Structure 1
Amino acid sequence: MPISEEWAGPAHGVICAYRFLDGAPQPLGPDFVPAAEPAGAWTWTHLRLSDVRARGKLTETPGLPAEALELFAEGEPRVQISQVDGWVIGALPDLQRDLAGRPGEEGRLVFAFDACRLITGRVYSLHAVDDLRRAVDKGQRLESPVHALVELVELYVGLIEGLLDDLGDELSGIEDYVLAKPQHPHETRLAAARREIARHRRELQALRSVLARAQAGRHGRRIDMLADAFVEGLAWMEDVDAEAAGLAERGRLLHEEMDTLINSATNRNMGALTVISTLLIPPTLITGAFGMNVPGLPFEHSRFGFVWASAVCVAVVGAALLLLRRMRVLG
């Protein structure tokens, strides 16, 4: 009976398991243990690492290195690929999938494979590996563990490219809004969009660097099983990274434009307050002088003292206004 994620995951820590014969997938039962396969065959076992029962499946796997067991047990925040005792182990970037199927925060897919076995595991539901699992359920052929790994990477890069396209459209909308010189330029999602672009680019660059080192073999880190497997993928990642860099630059320029608009609005407001303060200073002095409780003040005993004092204030304000216009302080 094939493994179903709905019941086999909670019961066994296994999300899915397949045997591939000449590339064609065949679902396997929950008691399957990854072992050596005949020529032309290989297996893929995908585990839910949040279930402690998944560790039992790992310890039952013959030949799995202790480093791989440790990686599956403890997880790894860094993107990495290494080779140990004929196995290739590591952690790939992916995006968590929420209940609505939308991509969310960064996640890690831990993996280990040799010539005929691929074991993957994740704590949270991940986007790319779930897409590959569903594609295999529909009959997608995978010729080898390396082919499956290439498909996982390409699904992830394609997902990032789509998200960057959406972010580019969002930046275009923000750009149109900002260039229209709005009253409240800070009321946009620019900060959130810039954060998402930086986050996706950081993950993509880490993956690109790891795969390039695995293929180039600098400092003895070449992995023969991955030789030339990611040539096209690395070129694609370079293009997507260049797109992300362009979006990051657009976001930075938009941020500077918004700062300019906000500073201009602040300067206009400060200018208006300065003019108002300048016009009110002379009447303040005059009313202060007339408010002194001393004898000999002008209009002290006049019936029209308040009128004359008010007229003096108005005249002084008018004179100050004419002076500001002559000095071109006012338009």
Structure 2
Amino acid sequence: MTETSWTIGAHGESKFCWVHLDGHDEKAMRWLDTGSEGSGHGLPPTARFNLTTAETRPRCQPLDGGVIINLRGPRAHAEEEGDELVSIRIWAERGRIVSVTYRRLAGLEQLRVRMDKGEFLDPGDLIAALAVQISHQLDPVIAELGDQVDDCELSLSSEHFHLRREIAHARSKAISYRRFIVPQRQALEAMALLEQDWIEDEDRIHLREAADRFARMAEELEAVRERSALLHEQITDLRAEKIDRRSLVIAIVAMIFLPLTFVTGLFGMNVDGIPYAHHPLSFWAVTGFSLLVGASVAIWFAVANWFRN
């Protein structure tokens, strides 16, 4: 197997091993069907199908004395495309765990080192440690989303329409995380209730602790989503209000110049018979009359409080 696929056995009296496979490693994936060096490995068909399926969501399902459990955690490389949370597919039974990932899961190497040191004595220890590790990794990420929305709320004003992009980004990430965190909590709660002799009481405590963390994350993500939607509506209202104010100013200016346009158009006609056409003060008289009309209309708008609206 390649360095992204491995088999580790626990030290001491425990007969427990962890077989991890890279979904893109063809040799490793053939092991699921043919067995290692020709020896059968006893995986149920349903478990093999779950380990090789392309799309998964967090779940927990007991099967033939073992457990199928799919979890999601942060990806090892942030620049990768796709979902923020990558999947790890697990088949757990007494003495053995078989897991498959198609994208690198953050923190998997740390678990590998701990497994190699013999810290995990049964599948329950390893799965509980994985769940707790994922919850610790996601806690600051979810908190950062909430802080981002807090900052947007504090800086919200009619001059900060660029916040719409940040709010939309935070809302999109919250929806993406919540899509997997809610069923992951349910999967861990279900596993903590399973009657498997290799799931010890301490493992159940850790599983419930991780499930509780995911429940709080789900609530925080729901709050982020709702607050983002509310902020988006507030920014839209501010934008509409600003457009209305500008439209009002344009309308007032147009109303002031409307009578002036009529007067200047009337006296600007190139026809005979216009009164005082040759009088030396005619131009100044028309100009003064236009200014008087414009000032009168502007004063009327001011008295009617149009400028304050």
Report the TM-score when normalising by structure 2: 0.83
Residues 69 and 104 of structure 1: CA distance in aligned 2, closer, same or farther (over 3 Å): closer
Q: Is 1:197 matched with 2:171?
A: no
Kept after mapping to 1: 8 A contact 2:5/2:28: no
1:97 touches 1:104 (CA, 8 Å); kept in 2? Answer: no
2:134 corresponds to 1:160? no
Conserved 8 A contact 2:76-2:107: no
Residue 11 of structure 2 is matched in structure 1 by: 21
- Residue in structure 2 matched with residue 255 of structure 1 by the alignment: 232
Say which of 248, 261, 266 aligns to 1:271: 248
**Residue 44 of structure 1 aligns with which residue?**
18
Aligned to 2:89: 110
> Which structure 1 segments of 5+ residues have no match?
23-38, 217-221
**Cα displacement string for residues 133-166 of structure 1 (whole angstroms, at most 9, x for unaligned residues):** 35445x3611211211111111112222110122
CA distance in 2, matches of 1:140, 1:275: 81
Identity of aligned pairs, percent? Answer: 21
Q: How many Å separate the matches in 2 of 1:296 and 1:212?
A: 97
Q: Give the one of 47, 56, 63 matched to 1:84.
A: 63
CA distance in 1, matches of 2:272, 2:200: 103
- Cα deviation 1:236-291 (Å, max 9, x = unaligned): 32233233333334333433332333233223222222222221222222233234
Distance 1:140 1:89 in 2: 23
2:165 aligned with 1:186: no
Write the letter of the residue equivalent to 2:133.
Answer: L
CA contact (8 A) 1:75 1:110 kept: no
Distance between the aligned counterparts of 1:85 and 1:157, measured in 2? Answer: 29
Give the SS at the match of 1:152.
Answer: helix
Distance 1:305 1:94 in 2: 85
1:320 shift after superposition: 0.4
Q: Distance in 2 between matches of 1:169 and 1:141?
A: 36
Which structure's relative contact order is higher, taking Cα pairs within 8 Å and 6+ residues apart? 2
Tell me if structure 1 keeps the 8 A contact 2:178–2:218.
Answer: yes
Matches within 5 A, 1:186-265: 186-187=162-163, 189-215=166-192, 224=196, 229=204, 230-265=207-242
In the other structure, the counterpart of 2:31 is 57
Structure 1 residue 113: deviation in Å? 1.6
Going from structure 1 to structure 2, the CA distance change for 1:303 and 1:131 (only over 3 Å counts) comes to: farther
Q: Superposed, which structure 2 residues align to 1:24-35 within 5 Å?
A: none
Work out whether residues 112 and 120 of structure 1, in 8 Å CA contact, stay in contact via their aligned partners in 2: yes
2:72/2:180 contact within 8 Å kept:
yes
Which amino acid in 2 is paired with 1:280?
Answer: F
2:51 is aligned with 1:75? no
Shift of residue 64, structure 1, vs aligned partner: 0.7
Rounded to whole Å, the distance in 1 between the matches of 2:63 and 2:168 is: 42
Mean CA deviation greater in 288-297 or 113-122:
288-297
Match of 1:36 in 2: none
Distance 1:280 1:124 in 2: 67
Task: Encode CA deviations 1:38-68: one digit per residue, 9 max, x unaligned.
Answer: x622000111101211222222051111122
8 A contact 1:175–1:254 mirrored in 2? yes
Stretch moving more, 232-241 or 145-154: 232-241
Cα 1:121–1:207 shift into 2, 3 Å: same
Change (3 A) 1:326 1:15: same
Whichever residue aligns with residue 177 of structure 2, its letter is H
CA, structure 1 residues 76+87, in 2 after alignment: closer, same or farther (shift >3 Å)?
farther
TM-score (normalizing by structure 1): 0.78
**CA 1:175 to 1:235, structure 2 compared with 1: closer, same or farther past 3 Å?**
same
Letter in 1 for 2:50: L
The match for 1:95 is 74
| Counterpart Cα distance in 2 of 1:127 and 1:152 | 11
